[in-house]
Amino acid sequence: MPATAEYVLEASTIYPGGGEAPLSNCTVHVRDGLIAGIGASAGSQNLPRIRCSVLAPGFIDIQINGAGDGQFNDAPDTATLKRMVQGAAKGGTAHLLATYITAPGFGYRQAMEAVERAREGRLPGLLGLHLEGPFISPRRPGIHPAKAIRPLGDRDFDILLGSGDHPRLITLAPEECAPGAIERLASAGWRVFLGHSLASYELIQSRIAEGLSGATHLFNAMPPLAGREPGPVGAVLDGSLPFAGLIADGIHVHPANLALAYSCAGPDRLCLVSDAMLTLGGTATEFSIGDKRVHLRDGRLVDDQGTLGGANLAMDEAVRNMIRLTSARPQDALAMASTTPAKALGLENELGYIRPGHRASFTICDTDLKASATISDGVLLHREFDSRRDEQWAILD
């Protein structure tokens, strides 16, 4: 908790979440990391007050590999997680799933342990873990180290089924897993998404019955929609798969396909994700993934062959892109960055809305929906310096 655990946020516009219409000139009373009340005059007049323009539910990034010059695969430890939280918060991310991609052997165990330690230390902003690989298709590796891709084995289940109770998401290729594997993971609390996959539509339907609940970075590292094979894209667009992550940088997915996904799946099933690397909110302009060197060039992260290697995308930018490139209303684009990820993780009763009893996690924006401050469970993660309003933020610094 911050030094001041009770305060009031006064906002010109509040987006309550879930695509609900915005409220004007409203206040939110925060007490001990929770929302205590909302209304025209919520909270005591004697409490410290912070004035802001636009208040939205805190953004939740369920796929972020690095930020703030920290890359989770390079150093899976608490120090890296702190840098990621701080770098991502500059773009409005209040909670994140630290994402660890394909690595040799059982390297992912270090990532699991790092998240456990950081959560035990109550690192603000760290929600949980996303393992993207190594159980993916060797025919759809993307930037992942191809030599490290492999099927799930008995030892993997021993490790994965004994993990903690924090939010956990795993991306795998269903066609590379034995029947029943997804059911075992889902029963142990993992949210299972397909990704880097060539799975057929029919196979996906059978795995949905086991607990497959979404797709990672829709359109990327999966076959395109075809006349006789809907595949993963078809399973998302027709509603079979409940949720899908979407990288709305205008680079990973063509604007026409962003609009198509929005038209078919809508804001209730699409989760905006950054797929960000350490360049987000940092100073680095190149880094390595396995034996590949990735460079930041004209806003793109690419290796020497031009293969995309993650994104240099902040969540507030993804929100603005959805509004600019599709028919999404502001309240719907904001929901895709907050409410829908919360639902995908089964956390909609505590995150993703501005409601009494929910966790006090907010993304504060200017009128252009550019993030100016980020609060996670009542704790200030980041704010843009403004000499005119510096004094009011001192209560949370």
124 and 264 within one domain: yes
> Is position 304 annotated as part of the catalytic site?
no
> In terms of pLDDT, which residue wins out, 214 or 40?
214
Residue 151 lies in a domain: yes
Our count of domains for the chain comes to 2
Instruction: Give SS3 for 171.
Output: strand
The pLDDT of residue 3 is above 60: no
Residue 44 pLDDT: 67
Which two three-digit tokens encode residue 207?
Answer: 């795995």
The pLDDT of residue 224 is above 90: yes
Neighbours of 316 (CB within 10 A): 26
- CATH of residue 216: 3.20.20.140
- Span of 24-33, 37-46, 144-153, 318-327 with lowest mean pLDDT: 37-46
386 and 242 within one domain: no
Distance from C-alpha of 48 to C-alpha of 94, rounded to nearest angstrom: 22
The pLDDT of residue 389 is above 80: no
Which residues are part of a known binding site for substrate?
Answer: 143, 220-221, 228, 252, 308-310
Neighbours of 327 (CB within 10 A): 10
Catalytic residue from among 69, 275, 303, 332: 275
181 and 138 within one domain: yes
Which residues are part of a known binding site for Zn(2+)?
Answer: 132, 196, 217
Distance from C-alpha of 371 to C-alpha of 374, rounded to nearest angstrom: 7
When the pLDDT of each residue in the chain is averaged and rounded to a whole number, the result is: 95
Which residues are part of a known binding site?
Answer: 132, 143, 196, 217, 220-221, 228, 252, 308-310
295 and 263 within one domain: yes
Work out the average pLDDT over 85-103: 98
- The band of 41, judged by pLDDT with boundaries at 50, 70 and 90, is low
Whether the CB-CB separation of 373 and 54 falls below 8 Å is answered with no
Beta strand 243-246 with 212-215: parallel, antiparallel or unpaired?
A: parallel
The pLDDT of residue 376 is above 70: yes
373 and 326 within one domain: no
216 and 201 within one domain: yes
Q: What percent of the chain has pLDDT over 90?
A: 91
Residue 359 lies in a domain: yes
67 and 13 within one domain: no
Alpha helices in 150-254 (DSSP H): 154-160, 181-187, 201-208, 231-237
Spatial neighbors of 359 by CB under 8 A, at least 6 apart, are 33, 34, 35, 350, 351, 377
387 and 309 within one domain: no
Work out the average pLDDT over 131-159: 97
Residue 43 pLDDT: 59
Range of the domain at 25: 6-57+352-393
Residue 163 pLDDT: 76
Among residues 309, 327, 344, which one ends one of the domains? 344
Residue 22 lies in a domain: yes
> In terms of pLDDT, which residue wins out, 385 or 365?
365
Residue 385 pLDDT: 74
Residue 44 lies in a domain: yes
Residue 120 lies in a domain: yes
Residue 1 lies in a domain: no
Spatial neighbors of 222 by CB under 8 A, at least 6 apart, are 140, 194, 195, 196, 197, 198, 215, 231, 232, 233
- CATH of residue 23: 2.30.40.10
- The band of 4, judged by pLDDT with boundaries at 50, 70 and 90, is low
227 and 167 within one domain: yes
Work out the average pLDDT over 38-52: 79
Residue 1 pLDDT: 42
pLDDT tens-digit map of 342-362: 999 999 999 999 999 999 999
96 and 135 within one domain: yes
Predicted model pTM = 0.97
Phi/psi at 97 (nearest 5 deg)?
Answer: -100, 110
Distance from C-alpha of 51 to C-alpha of 31, rounded to nearest angstrom: 17
108 and 84 within one domain: yes
270 and 150 within one domain: yes
